[in-house]
Amino acid sequence: MVSENDTSEKSDTSEKKGRVASLARRRHRVTRSLLALPLGWLLLFFVIPVSLVVAYSVGILETFTKEEGVSLETWRIFLTGENVYMLLFIKSFRMALIVAVVVVILAYPIAYFLAMIADKYKYSLLLLMIAPFMTNFFMRVMAWKVLLGRQGVLNSFLIWSGLRDEGNPIEGLAFGEIPVMIVLGYVWIPFVMLPMFAAMISMDRRLLEAAADLGASRWRAFWKVTFPLSLPGVVASFFFVFIPTIGEFVVPKLVGGTKGYMFGSAIDDLFGMGLDWRTGSVLSLWLVMAVFVLALLFMRLVRFGRLAES
Amino acid sequence: MADGRDPISRRDFVKLAGKGALVAGAMPAALAACGEDAPPETVVVTETVIEERIVTETETVIEEKIVEVAGEAPTTTLSPRDAGLAAENGADLLIYAPPGREVPTQWPGYLGRFPQPQFAATAGSFASLGELQLGAIEPDIWNPCFAVFDTAVSEGLVQPWDTSLIPNFADLNPNLTAATSRDGNQYAIPLLYGLAIPIYRADLYTPKENSYSILFDEDLAGKVTWTDSAEWFVVAGKLPENNVANPLDPTEEELDRLVEFMKRKIRIVPAALYSDLATNQTDLATGNIVASYVAPTQWIELTKQGVDIAFITPDEGFIGFSCGYFLMADADQYYHAHEWVNAAVSVEAALTISNKFNFGNSNLKATAVDNPLLVDVMGLGDPAALDGVSLLDKMQNIDRLNDAWIEVKAAAGV
């Protein structure tokens, strides 16, 4: 026979199970409703637009009636280098890489100074650093034209000081590949500094004290403690510059001239004046894929580096 | 009375005079409502005639007043134009045009008669073509330059204008109207035109020949500016050395040759394919740039500044461009669009275009411009002024040329 105690224990257990199940269900509902907004956002502003671009790239969607229907021909022409855009991509990749590396190298000491040395003045100095960026982007870029132009500040100074002859200024300073990289670097530095500053400021200082106590020099402590811990900030900063730079088209338009034309400029032109949405879509998707693969590679690398270190 | 008619009593006379005064007061309003001024007339007046007329007209006025008060529709039949205008809401007229076109001096006389239209600013003819094709904006009127003509018409984006609703159409330059019509339909109403001229600093350079080839002269490497446009294939196509039968519509083989030619030559352009007229003008004034390809407006401005600048009349013949108005295929404000465009190509509007912007205007009667150079150089008022000019309006398959142009630019950057 089943005793009364057994029965009440069983009912208690099933009640508990029921409560747990209902709690789990509720948690599921909450999780799903919390996820709905970001997922919906991603769907609406990433998945659907990218799908549309994919559809344009293979001719499922067409802008003009003259286009040739569904085919992978545009992809083939691009990937086999039959047109010039793959070379342009390589050039833009190189430029973006240079800009991102140089900017990160330049911004790192500033971030280090602000986070580790500036002490109570760090936020005031940070504000000072980003103050020029409260002015209009276009004006800041145009200011470089004034500085670097044929009759700009730099050339005027060189001629005034006798370092260059009158009527023989340095050419190609206001337009070309180098000015594009200079201006982009200038534009990105404060933004690049922030992730590194954030990584360093949140660092546990006791680790540095421990390193010092164990006899590490300041340099060794930096390499063994500060730098590895700031690496996520460095990687974030790198991508912060690299991704927009590789697709950049505004700065090349303003200071690029014919030599500073970039992959992003071609995309802009193909969608705008060229009305060739198919090629524009192929180039855009290629850019997304390239950046995505590169980001994955870097994340792996950083993770691998950390594992090796530990 | 001697003629046997009944004499009019003083009382009746006063009554009739009162009615007469009423009618006289009401007549101008009634006539104005019909859109006519009071007709001058000479009438032999007799008492009976006066009485009959006064009674009749008084009754008419009273009837009209009754109709007006009762809110009944007038029984008169409206013309299709008036009926169309009445059926539309003119305040919804949307004009997609370059910034500045919203200034009423460019469409005088419209605002007093119709509601204020709306304007949206275009960011260039080709970019706006793409936006229209995607339905990003749905204007009634679109104001591009007509290098997009072939594509806009072929894609069915636009519909023909009814020129009978545009009285000023008769005054427009026939070369421009012909270039913007197809199969007997007038798809665009031209507003302005310009010639694309090669100019040079006469004190710094002596051209070897009268040709567009000055713009490809490697002796001027680093000192030439071009525009950022596929029309450079037309410029290059005009050079005898490139041997292109119709520069406005090169064959595939011809275009391939032109692309190679342009890829070689774009390297002499120093820095910028200028899209900034002011900088280009400053560079020409200072001598940084020695030769350029411009609209006459820049030559006029530089001449005014006293810069020693000259232009070439190319042996190959000029390239020209024109801009104006398309009526969109799904325009809601059909009749208001016609009224507006009629105002926008009137003599007064055309003079504003020439005086303010130094462009040639399409209205042959608008010759009394402030700057006589415009008449001399642009041939304002001369219907034959554009004979022999390669109008970019006639460019075919512009999308193909644009693609090729972007590839040339990309090659210069690699």
Average pLDDT over residues B52-78: 54
Bridge partners of residue B319, in order along the sequence: B196, B390
DSSP-derived secondary structure letter, B229: S
Chain B positions in Cβ-Cβ contact with residue A271 (cut-off 8 Å): 130
Chain A positions in Cβ-Cβ contact with residue B414 (cut-off 8 Å): 84, 87-88, 91
Facing A261 at nearest CB: one of B154, B397, B410:
B410
Facing A275 at nearest CB: one of B266, B272, B399:
B399
Chain B positions in Cβ-Cβ contact with residue A88 (cut-off 8 Å): 410, 413-414
Contact A275 B155 (CB under 8 A): no
B185, two tokens: 């339909």
Contact A175 B133 (CB under 8 A): no
Would you call B74 helix, strand, or coil by DSSP? coil
More confident residue, B73 or B155: B155
Most confident of A152-161, B263-272, B317-326: B317-326
pLDDT digits (tens, 9 = 90+) for A44-79: 999 999 999 999 999 999 887 766 789 999 999 999
Q: Is the Cα dihedral B283, B285, B288, B290 positive or negative? A: positive
Give the H or E element holding residue B27. Answer: helix B10-33
Bridge partners of residue B97, in order along the sequence: B121
Residue A2 has pLDDT above 90, yes or no: no
Contact A256 B134 (CB under 8 A): no
Most confident of A151-165, B253-267, B363-377: B253-267
- Residue spans of the domains in chain B: they are 10-70, 91-190+323-359, 194-320+398-413
Q: Measured at the alpha carbon of residue B408, what is the angle toward residues B405 and B413, in degrees to the nearest 5?
A: 130
Contact B271 A258 (CB under 8 A): yes
Tell me the residues of chain B between 262 and 281 that have a Cβ less than 8 Å away from chain A: 266-267, 269-273
Contact B413 A279 (CB under 8 A): no
For residue A6, the model assigns a pLDDT of 66
Chain B positions in Cβ-Cβ contact with residue A81 (cut-off 8 Å): none
User: What separation in angstroms does the CA of A2 have from each of A11, A12, A14, A59, B157?
Assistant: 13, 15, 17, 74, 85
Q: Say how many C-beta atoms besides its own lie within 10 A of residue B374's C-beta.
A: 21
**Pure H helices in chain A:** 4-42, 48-57, 73-79, 85-112, 122-130, 137-148, 153-160, 177-201, 205-213, 218-221, 227-246, 250-251, 263-271, 277-309
pTM above 0.80, yes or no: no
Tell me how long chain B is.
414
Residue with tokens 């003083």, as numbered in its chain: B10
For residue A4, the model assigns a pLDDT of 60
For residue A7, the model assigns a pLDDT of 67
Contact B413 A276 (CB under 8 A): no
Look at the domain B91-190+323-359 and name its fold.
D-Maltodextrin-Binding Protein; domain 2 (3.40.190)
Pick the closest to residue A269 from A242, A255, A249, A289 (CA basis): A249
Contact B269 A176 (CB under 8 A): no
Direct distance between the N- and C-terminal alpha carbons of chain A, in angstroms, rounded to an integer: 61
Question: Chain A within 8 Å of B406 (Cβ-Cβ)?
Answer: yes
B43, two tokens: 């009438």
Q: Measured at the alpha carbon of residue A287, what is the angle toward residues A286 and A290, in degrees to the nearest 5?
A: 85
Chain B positions in Cβ-Cβ contact with residue A172 (cut-off 8 Å): 270-271
Contact A256 B413 (CB under 8 A): yes
Average pLDDT over residues B259-265: 93
B414, two tokens: 């690699």
Contact B410 A174 (CB under 8 A): no
The amino acid at residue B120 is A
Q: Say how many C-beta atoms besides its own lie within 10 A of residue B182's C-beta.
A: 14
CATH number for B194-320+398-413: choose from 3.40.190.10, 3.30.559.10, 3.50.50.60, 3.40.50.720: 3.40.190.10
Q: What crossing angle do the helices spanning A277-309 and A48-57 adopt, rounded to 10°?
A: 120
CA distance A152 to A188: 23
More confident residue, B377 or B24: B377
Q: Answer for the pair B388, A251: CB distance below 8 angstroms, yes or no.
A: no
Q: Say how many C-beta atoms besides its own lie within 10 A of residue B373's C-beta.
A: 15
DSSP-derived secondary structure letter, B73: P
User: What separation in angstroms does the CA of B87 have from each of A239, B72, B94, B133, B231?
Assistant: 58, 17, 16, 27, 43
Which residue numbers of A have CB closer than 8 Å to B's CBs? 63-66, 83-85, 87-88, 91, 150-151, 171-172, 174-176, 256-262, 265-266, 269-277, 279
Contact A274 B155 (CB under 8 A): no
Pick the closest to residue B224 from B232, B233, B235, B215 (CA basis): B215
Identify the band that residue B286 occupies on the pLDDT scale cut at 50, 70 and 90.
confident
For residue B284, the model assigns a pLDDT of 86
Q: Is the Cα dihedral B403, B408, B413, B414 positive or negative? A: positive
Q: Answer for the pair B399, B207: CB distance below 8 angstroms, yes or no.
A: no
Asked whether this chain's domains B91-190+323-359 and B194-320+398-413 adopt the same fold, the reply is: yes
Q: Which of B69-78, B99-108, B347-356, B379-388 has the lowest mean pLDDT?
A: B69-78
Chain B positions in Cβ-Cβ contact with residue A175 (cut-off 8 Å): 270-272
Residue B1 has pLDDT above 70, yes or no: no
Q: How many CA atoms lie within 13 A of B32 on its CB side?
A: 5
DSSP-derived secondary structure letter, A300: H
Contact B270 A171 (CB under 8 A): yes
Residue with tokens 């190319």, as numbered in its chain: B314
Contact A151 B266 (CB under 8 A): no
Pick the closest to residue B194 from B57, B298, B348, B301 (CA basis): B298
Q: Measured at the alpha carbon of residue A288, what is the angle toward residues A283 and A289, in degrees to the nearest 5?
A: 95
Question: Chain A within 8 Å of B282 (Cβ-Cβ)?
Answer: no
CA distance B243 to B254: 8
Pick the closest to residue B262 from B406, B400, B397 (CA basis): B406
Contact A91 B269 (CB under 8 A): no
Q: Is the Cα dihedral A239, A240, A243, A248 positive or negative? A: negative
Chain B positions in Cβ-Cβ contact with residue A270 (cut-off 8 Å): 403, 406
Q: How far is A263 from chain B (nearest CA, A)?
A: 8
Q: How many CB pairs under 8 A join A and B?
A: 103
Most confident of A19-23, A90-94, A224-228, B47-51: A90-94
B201, two tokens: 């600093």
B4, two tokens: 């046997």
Contact A275 B411 (CB under 8 A): no
Question: Chain A within 8 Å of B288 (Cβ-Cβ)?
Answer: yes
Q: How far is B34 from chain A (nearest CA, A)?
A: 49
B107, two tokens: 């469409």
Chain B positions in Cβ-Cβ contact with residue A265 (cut-off 8 Å): 409-410, 413
pLDDT digits (tens, 9 = 90+) for B119-147: 999 988 988 998 998 899 999 999 999 99
CA distance B208 to B218: 12
The amino acid at residue A285 is L
Q: Which of A291-305, B150-164, B346-360 has the lowest mean pLDDT?
A: A291-305
Q: Answer for the pair B398, B148: CB distance below 8 angstroms, yes or no.
A: yes
CA distance A297 to A271: 30
Would you call B346 helix, strand, or coil by DSSP? coil
Nearest CA in chain B to A64: B155
Q: How far is B332 from chain A (nearest CA, A)?
A: 23
DSSP-derived secondary structure letter, B311: E
Q: How many CA atoms lie within 13 A of B44 on its CB side?
A: 0
pLDDT digits (tens, 9 = 90+) for B171-230: 999 999 999 999 999 999 999 999 889 999 999 999 999 999 999 999 988 888 888 889
Question: Chain A within 8 Å of B260 (Cβ-Cβ)?
Answer: no
Q: Measured at the alpha carbon of residue A173, what is the angle toward residues A254 and A253, in degrees to the nearest 5?
A: 15
